[in-house]
Amino acid sequence: MNEVKYLIIGGGVAGTTAAETLRSTDPEGGIAIVSDEPYRFYSRIMLSKPNFFLEKIPFDQIWLKPDSWYAANRIQLLKGRKAVQLETTPKIVTLDDDSPWHYQKLLLATGARARKWDVPGAEKRGVYALRTLDDAKEIIAQVKQTKEAILIGSGFVSFEMADMLRLAGIDVTLVILESYYWEPVLDETSGRMIEKVLQDHGVKINHRAEVAEVLGGEAVTGVRLKDGRQLPCQLIIAGIGAACTTDLAQAGGIKTNRGILANEYLETSAPDVWTAGDCAEFRDLLLGEQIVLGNWVNSQSQGKVAALNMAGRHDPFKLVSFYTTSGFGMTIAFVGDSRAGEGREVILRGSPQENAYGRLIFQGGKLLGATLINLTREMGLIAKLIELGRDLSPHKPALANLRTDLATLISANG
Amino acid sequence: MIKKVVVDRNLCIGAASCVVAAPGVFELNGESKAVIKQKGGVKNSGPVEKEGLEDGAVTDETLLAAAQSCPTRAIFLYDEQGQQIYP
């Protein structure tokens, strides 16, 4: 039986940040990370960036820790190993090589996996998701032999891949189920602004469209849409979202929903088991509800808080998280809780004519989140306003005007 | 001791982890690139000497944490001798 004080499942940003934090808090306790990928910690967020894909920055920039970092910090990295069993009462995790690991404290930082694109022929060579370094390597190789590419889905993966593929001189067609880009996460005005830059750069968009079948022999040569049209392509990237990896938690009888359920301390339903990152469905103190957030800063911050709590602290996790993407000279940002649902009011800031357009999401007088097109410079200020939680009711009319400086609302009393 | 901070604009992808780690020092600009907030309201990618930062009280620990949090290692820190401390 292998014995370790802190066992971390997942070698991404949540798991690695946790290991680093644990080592700085507890210089002696044994730490092991289990990663089902054959690599040390790398920058998953960089995988979809055009500069990386087109090899404008050195490939090695992807590695965020040198190999020697693990040994120097006495962190054992078990690469290419999958944790398959979890028993939370004798506190044992079993790996896919049948080796049992007895832990004192366990962190589940198992991340998310790309949602499977379930279409006949989707197993052909040339059809990819983009989640891991191996996915990226295959796409980089395939791009070199591609004249025409098809992107499935209207989210950040398709947006960044469209930018990269156009820069590489490839003909790009989007096939999306929605009636406008990023529906319903964004409103139609935002979606059309994005579509305009895509189309201005030569990307063709098929709305309310679905692939019926991937054509070709061993390798993809095209697709047939449900309306009968056929489109040639040598590359398909399906960016249709990600799902939390919860198998191990479920195997251990830990409560899950969309993700692994946790309270604001990132404690799961089992004693001495924490969770962090893309797989966590945690209690968000700012919103007062359970949420899943798949982004880099959230995973990084949760890895740190979970580790501090594993080492004996009892700190709640509290963060206004944000996420940005950019391409074709346009920036898109999401701040806090940007869902515009029932009981919420949306204040529009700027306009497509001003080429800067934001949606500020309110519940009563309280700002909860925002979606921002070409307004990333206001992201930090908006995050601060959300965090302060002030009643902004009197300022709502002024907020619609881009000339209203948000900084004045932060310095204002009350 | 950290003397100088620089952001490499080519590497920066606007993940904003530096804004979370050191909100008094970094923010994103209109192109979604991190900029350093300096005395007198100047904001750019540097190089900026530590005394020139708007947040004069920021600790080396916070600056290092911000640089280390960057998923593209785009924040460069130098000491008084001009030696690169990070990355």
pLDDT single digits (tens) A286-323: 888 899 988 999 999 999 999 999 999 999 999 998 88
Mean pLDDT of chain A: 95
The pLDDT, as a whole number, for residue A413 is 52
In angstroms, what separates the C-alpha of B23 from chain A's closest C-alpha?
8
| Amino acid residing at B9 | R
Residue B13 with chain A: CB contacts under 8 Å = 45-46, 49, 51, 326
Q: Which CATH architecture has domain B2-86?
A: 2-Layer Sandwich (3.30)
Q: Which residues of chain A have a CB within 8 Å of the CB of B15? A: 45, 296-297, 324
What are the chain B neighbours of A45 within 8 Å (beta carbons)? 13, 15, 71-72
Distance CA B6, CA A94 (A): 45
SS3 readout for chain B: CEEEEEECCCCCCCCCHHHHHCCCCEEECCCCCEEEEEHHHCEECCCEEHHHECCCCCCHHHHHHHHHHCCCCCEEEEECCCCEEEC
pTM of the entire structure? 0.94
Is B32 close to A322, i.e. CB distance below 8 A?
Answer: no
pLDDT of residue A414: 45
What is residue A352's predicted lDDT score, i.e. its pLDDT?
97
Contact B28 A324 (CB under 8 A): yes
Contacts of B36 in chain A (CB under 8 A): none
What 8-state DSSP symbol labels residue A376?
Answer: G
User: Does A317 reach chain B within 8 Å, measured CB to CB?
Assistant: no
Distance from CA of A206 to the nearest CA of B (A): 28
Interface of B with A in 38-77 (CB under 8 A): 69, 71-73
Cβ of A300 within 8 Å of Cβ of B31? The answer is no
Domains and CATH numbers, chain A: 2-113+243-310 (3.50.50.60), 116-238 (3.50.50.60), 322-411 (3.30.390.30)
Q: Which residues of B68-87 are buried (b: 16+ CB within 10 A; e: fewer)?
A: bbbbbbbbbbbeeeeeebee
Decide if B30 touches A, using CB distance below 8 A: yes
The span from the CA of B52 to the CA of B43, in Å, is 11
Omega prior to A90 cis, within 30 of 0: no
From chain B, the residues in CB contact with A375 under 8 A are 30
pLDDT tens digits for range B10-43: 999 999 999 989 989 999 998 899 999 999 999 9
pLDDT tens figures, B39-85: 999 999 989 999 999 998 899 999 999 999 999 999 999 999 999 99
Q: ipTM score of the complex?
A: 0.91
Per-residue confidence (pLDDT) for residue A175, from 0 to 100 = 98
Residues A35/A109, Cβ–Cβ less than 8 Å: no
- Calculate the CA A316 to chain-centre distance: 22
* Full 3-state SS string of A200-238: HCCCEEECCCCEEEEEECCEEEEEEECCCCEEECCEEEE
The list of chain A residues with pLDDT below 70 reads 412-414
Chain B CA closest to residue A335? B16
* Among candidates A45, A57, A383 on the partner chain, residue whose Cβ is nearest the Cβ of B71: A45
Q: Where are the domains of chain B?
A: 2-86
Nearest to A296 among B17, B23, B31 (CB): B17
Chain A 36-65, residues with CB within 8 Å of chain B CB atoms = 43-46, 49, 51, 56-57, 61, 64
Res A327: pLDDT: 93
